[in-house]
Structure 1
Amino acid sequence: MSYAGWILLTASLVGLSCGLIGALLILRRMAMMADAISHSVLLGIVVAYLITRELSGVHMLLGAIAAGLLTAVLVQWFHARGVQQEASIGVVFTTLFAIGVVLIATKVGNAHLDVQHALMGEITFVPWEKIELPWVGSIPEAVFVLGLVLIIVLASLLLFYKEWKITSFDPALAASIGIPVMLMHYFFMSLVSVTTVAAFDAVGAIMVVAMLITPAAAAYLWTDRLSVMLVLSSSFGVISAIMGYYIAAWLDTSISGSMAFATGIIFIISFLGSPKHGVVARTIRPSASST
């Protein structure tokens, strides 16, 4: 595969995984948790590096998952004690992210781990960092990791589709019929953390947030069915990745930034043109009914 092909495949895998997870985040009214976890995983990554002194390996994933779960637990703990959820999210993620930044500045030294890399990533490096797989050959490590995460996310959604649907729309009903709501919540936060850290190194926190929230928000405007929303959200993520790459090539600018910008374009088109909730449809509908 060509250099550009690997970049497009990497970004498309990010779009697919984040689109699927993002749909549930939107339905659960937890969109800002995506922002919180995508920033707080920095602390987990830095701590994992400080313990092992290695910038790659499963320990990075474990550290990020631990940081994501810590974020979810602290947000829930503050919220249960009377702090508004938005305020809890803001306090927790800014504090954990700031600790990660301080540790990078004071403890990491000359390692290839910095705040700019954490925020924007560097997807252009992805095709050069390869691993050898049996029967497959040499592929970028990011493609392998993101592909594995996509399989985990898909399997989790398919195996527990009914549970995700009920806990997202009516947690009280889910609890009444014996579904472990809190266990599903923390399992979901683990999936968010895994997806975030898998995309973190390649595309950075900004694009992760954009891919988790914006395609799902756009899909929500087109349908009221969860299954259709999942398909649309992941599709919008892939379209944003491809569109953003060519925008970046045209303007000679940041690829990740352009992909995040492309998600905004798709949302605006959906906001204006979706047949049920779009601005144009809502404007025409009263006029049609009055005639």
Structure 2
Amino acid sequence: MSGAEFVPLSLVPLLTGIFVAVACALPGNFLVLRRQALIGDAISHVVLPGIVVAFLVTGAVTTWPMLLGAAGAALVAVIGIEGVRRLGQIESGAAMGVIFTAMFAGGVLLLEQSDTSNVHLDVEHALYGNLESLIWLDAVGWSSLWDAQALATLPVELPRMAITLVFVVLFTVVFWRPLKISTFDEGFAQTIGMRTNLLGLALVIVAAIAAVAAFDAVGSIIVIAMFICPPAAARLMTNRLERQVAWSVVFAVVAAVLGYVFAGYGPLWLGFADSVSAAGMIATVSGVILGLAAVFGPHRLRGSAAPVG
């Protein structure tokens, strides 16, 4: 594929997929180690009612109302999960299941009862996003990357995910030591004055921001997979946190690139006429990577192995 074809048709969705994968994988490392991996699953689904409510209020699917609605729903979910866990005296997984089910079902009901015929918003969009439709119409080739006029017409999903990724990276770097200590020894973290509850809430909020920013472009399928699969696969490759995070980024990028390529060309190589969902294929590749790590990873048999540090 020449630059004249690749840049307008594939560059934006490919970069968006990579940014989404890495932005979700970074906080996913700490969620997996804290045994809170399913909170990414919950967040990626509970944003649906917020997006639908934003559409009902504004009558349009535009960036900021959707982001604000989804962010509001995600925060409600986080507070709801914590409230159910504390008031009901039940474990976190059950609390997440209650909120996840109720809010996603409510979002689907709202969506089905709303007139969305004039916008691209339906249950399928909520699951798979619109990664393939992120076409850079004004791009004519690699030279467009230095053309201010062409750059102004970039699909908004790409700069939005770039900003989100920068924010997630900054959070991870700035709070690296507190996150590391509180993840592996919460009691010690509290004795040295760390506010572990506040830090845990901040981590969940960062994960929610990543999920909300990614939702419109890639849907919930990739978000769920990227929060869990790359970090879990990286966990099987090393017992050092720094290396785990590095491995998770590598796995996230590989899953995004191979998934996008296989979605577009895999069916053609097998003799089929149509491509398949890029979001679904990226999630599938991430699952395959996790499976390979589970079979061949050097730290797949942990038994009495020392914890990550």
Using structure 2 for the length normalisation, give the TM-score: 0.84
Amino acid at match of 1:49: F
Amino acid at match of 2:219: G
Q: 1:165 to 1:133 in 2, by over 3 A?
A: farther
- Alignment equivalent of 2:285, drawn from 257, 262, 270: 262
- Alignment equivalent of 1:122, drawn from 122, 130, 149: 130
Do the aligned partners of 1:121 and 1:256 also contact (CA within 8 Å) in 2?
Answer: yes
Structure 1 residues 158-173: aligned runs within 5 Å: 158-173=173-188
Deviation at residue 130 of structure 1 after TM alignment: 8.4
Deviation at residue 203 of structure 1 after TM alignment: 1.3
Q: Report the Cα distance in structure 2 between the residues aligned to 1:129 and 1:91, rounded to whole angstroms.
A: 43
Unaligned runs of 5+ in 2: 1-6, 140-146, 268-274, 304-309
Q: 1:270 to 1:198 in 2, by over 3 A?
A: same
- Alignment equivalent of 2:46, drawn from 24, 40, 46: 40
- The range that moved more, 58-67 or 20-29, is 58-67
Structure 1 residues 166-205: aligned runs within 5 Å: 166-205=181-220
Percent identity between matched residues is 35
Q: 1:10 to 1:278 in 2, by over 3 A?
A: farther
- Alignment equivalent of 1:63, drawn from 46, 59, 69: 69
- Alignment equivalent of 1:106, drawn from 90, 108, 113: 113
SS in structure 2 of the partner of residue 192 of structure 1: helix
Q: Report the Cα distance in structure 2 between the residues aligned to 1:176 and 1:134, rounded to whole angstroms.
A: 55
Deviation at residue 133 of structure 1 after TM alignment: 6.6
Deviations 1:203-261 (A, max 9, x none): 11111101111011000111122221111111101100111122212122211111111
C-alpha RMSD of the superposition: 2.2
Q: 1:226 to 1:239 in 2, by over 3 A?
A: same
Deviation at residue 25 of structure 1 after TM alignment: 1.2
SS in structure 2 of the partner of residue 54 of structure 1: coil
Deviations 1:12-44 (A, max 9, x none): 111111111211110111111111100001111
Per the alignment, residue 250 of structure 1 pairs with 266
Deviation at residue 155 of structure 1 after TM alignment: 0.6
Using structure 1 for the length normalisation, give the TM-score: 0.89
Q: Report the Cα distance in structure 2 between the residues aligned to 1:268 and 1:61, rounded to whole angstroms.
A: 34
Q: Report the Cα distance in structure 2 between the residues aligned to 1:264 and 1:45, rounded to whole angstroms.
A: 28
- Alignment equivalent of 2:94, drawn from 76, 82, 87: 87
Do the aligned partners of 1:19 and 1:236 also contact (CA within 8 Å) in 2?
Answer: no
Q: Report the Cα distance in structure 2 between the residues aligned to 1:169 and 1:44, rounded to whole angstroms.
A: 34
Is 2:109 aligned against 1:96?
A: no
Give the number of the structure whose residues are more often helix, by fraction.
1
Per the alignment, residue 286 of structure 1 pairs with none
Do the aligned partners of 2:14 and 2:257 also contact (CA within 8 Å) in 1?
Answer: yes
Deviations 1:86-118 (A, max 9, x none): 211111111011111111112344232111110
Unaligned runs of 5+ in 1: 283-291
- Alignment equivalent of 1:5, drawn from 6, 11, 18: 11
Per the alignment, residue 233 of structure 2 pairs with 218
Do the aligned partners of 1:119 and 1:205 also contact (CA within 8 Å) in 2?
Answer: yes
- The range that moved more, 52-61 or 259-268, is 52-61
Amino acid at match of 2:52: V
Per the alignment, residue 228 of structure 1 pairs with 243
Deviations 1:242-291 (A, max 9, x none): 11122212122211111111001111111111123259xx9xxxxxxxxx
Amino acid at match of 1:162: R
- Alignment equivalent of 2:295, drawn from 248, 272, 275: 272
Task: Work out the number of aligned pairs and report it.
Answer: 280
Q: Report the Cα distance in structure 2 between the residues aligned to 1:46 and 1:163, rounded to whole angstroms.
A: 36
Q: Report the Cα distance in structure 2 between the residues aligned to 1:278 and 1:113, rounded to whole angstroms.
A: 44
Deviation at residue 5 of structure 1 after TM alignment: 2.1
- The range that moved more, 184-193 or 124-133, is 124-133
Amino acid at match of 1:250: G
Q: Report the Cα distance in structure 1 between the residues aligned to 2:91 and 2:138, rounded to whole angstroms.
A: 45
Give runs of ≥4 in structure 1 deviating > 6 Å.
Answer: 129-135
Q: Report the Cα distance in structure 2 between the residues aligned to 1:102 and 1:70, rounded to whole angstroms.
A: 18
Deviations 1:45-72 (A, max 9, x none): 1122222223123232222222112112
Do the aligned partners of 1:130 and 1:140 also contact (CA within 8 Å) in 2?
Answer: no
Q: Report the Cα distance in structure 2 between the residues aligned to 1:201 and 1:130, rounded to whole angstroms.
A: 22
